[in-house]
């Protein structure tokens, strides 16, 4: 914050809007300082938007995990200005659902000041955060530089924005937003996302209905049951492993030995999933057509999730939408390719089905 303040104060171009830098404490004591500022300070009534800096870990990428409410222009400002974007509406909806037992000053500014904003936080190495090991030397300078680059760029964009003068005029719905490998952020209005989701779902159901009407196709309903059963057994296996780890007195093992826990729980999950599908193949299906059948099962399950999340009005529905749209489009395009090039396209198709199945 001090470096951003220094940079803004020394730039030659005058700012169109003022910036208030609030260094407040008492956060752990029910967010008292931010509440005092937004309800009692005379400057509070002049604030049109805010950027809240948080931490739930030590370093790493700072993620945008809350925006709004209903001010898509703020998301667009981050999209246009951030040099190293890292954002997901999934984080926003998970955090605001109350599943995570935590809170930030974002809620105070939003609920008591009716001010839109952006909430950013460091999230890596959370096992150190708020412990005796949470010392200054453990904070990576690269993380601070990255955050500074993003915050300074977004602030410069906002202080020159016409929309900041009267942000109340631009309250029109929520945004679906997510980054692609930290390179670029995709953002579009949630109403557009709803239309897109239902179009993808309709196309998928029509495709599956057409395949099911053909003679000689595999039993999609039974294969779906096997897939769901494999998920249930996998979840049960992971819970049993977690129980054993807890009984051994290592209940937080996964927190500070992340990659070891991935191997431990991943081995249990993968083993049980392979076991269920192997038994189903040997006892019921036989060998032929399994790849094609489970590709359709994957589409069906993701599509059901897509319809449910969209019906609930959740922007996170973009996740199953992507998991349906791209495989389906690839399948249809490759089907046409088969007709022209024959078996030379088969290898690419089988590789894609394998990758999709793993996802």
pLDDT of residue 37: 93
pLDDT of residue 198: 96
pLDDT of residue 306: 95
SS3 218: coil
> What's the rounded Cα separation, in Å, for the pair 320 and 309?
9
pLDDT of residue 136: 84
> Which residues is 117 bridged to in the sheet?
50, 68
> What's the rounded Cα separation, in Å, for the pair 128 and 49?
32
pLDDT of residue 6: 94
The question of whether 28 is a catalytic residue gets the answer no
pLDDT at 346 over 60: no
Strands (DSSP E) contained in 226-301 are: none
Average pLDDT on 326-337 reads 80
pLDDT at 231 over 70: yes
pLDDT of residue 286: 55
Prediction pTM value: 0.79
Least confident of 102-106, 120-124, 279-283: 279-283
Catalytic option among 27, 62, 124, 337: 27
Please count the helices (runs of H) and the strands (runs of E) in the chain.
13, 5
pLDDT at 338 over 60: no
pLDDT band at residue 340 using 50, 70 and 90 as cut-offs: low
């Amino acid at each position: 914050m001090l470096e951003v303040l220094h940079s803004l104060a020394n730039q030659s171009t005058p700012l169109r809007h003022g910036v208030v830098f609030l260094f407040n404490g008492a956060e752990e004591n029910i967010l008292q300082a931010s509440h005092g500022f937004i309800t009692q300070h005379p400057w509070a009534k002049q604030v049109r938007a805010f950027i809240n800096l948080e931490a739930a870990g030590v370093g790493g990428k700072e993620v945008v995990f809350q925006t709004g409410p209903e001010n898509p222009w703020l998301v667009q400002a981050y999209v246009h200005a951030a040099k190293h974007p890292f954002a997901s509406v999934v984080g926003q909806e998970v955090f605001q659902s109350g599943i995570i037992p935590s809170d930030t000053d974002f809620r105070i500014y939003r609920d008591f000041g009716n001010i839109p904003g952006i909430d950013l936080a460091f999230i890596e190495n959370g096992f150190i955060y708020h412990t005796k090991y949470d010392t200054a030397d453990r904070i990576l300078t690269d993380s601070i530089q990255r955050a500074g680059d993003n915050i300074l760029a977004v602030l410069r964009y906002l202080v020159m924005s016409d929309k900041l003068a009267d942000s109340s005029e631009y309250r029109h719905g929520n945004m679906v937003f997510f980054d692609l490998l930290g390179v670029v952020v995709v953002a579009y209005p949630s109403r557009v996302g709803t239309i897109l989701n239902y179009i993808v779902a309709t196309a998928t159901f029509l495709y599956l209905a057409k395949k099911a009407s053909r003679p000689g196709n595999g039993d999609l309903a039974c294969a779906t049951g096997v897939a769901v059963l494999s998920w249930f057994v996998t979840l049960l296996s992971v819970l049993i492993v977690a129980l054993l780890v807890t009984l051994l007195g290592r209940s937080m093992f996964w927190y500070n030995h992340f990659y070891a826990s991935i191997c431990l729980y991943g081995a249990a999950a993968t083993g049980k999933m392979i076991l269920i599908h192997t038994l189903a193949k040997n006892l019921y299906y036989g060998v032929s057509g399994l790849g094609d059948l489970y590709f359709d099962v994957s589409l069906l399950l993701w599509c059901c999730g897509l319809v449910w999340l969209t019906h609930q009005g959740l922007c996170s529905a973009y996740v199953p939408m992507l998991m349906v749209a791209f495989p389906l489009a690839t399948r249809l395009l490759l089907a046409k390719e088969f007709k022209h090039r024959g078996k030379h396209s088969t290898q690419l198709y089988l590789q894609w089905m394998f990758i999709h199945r793993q996802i």
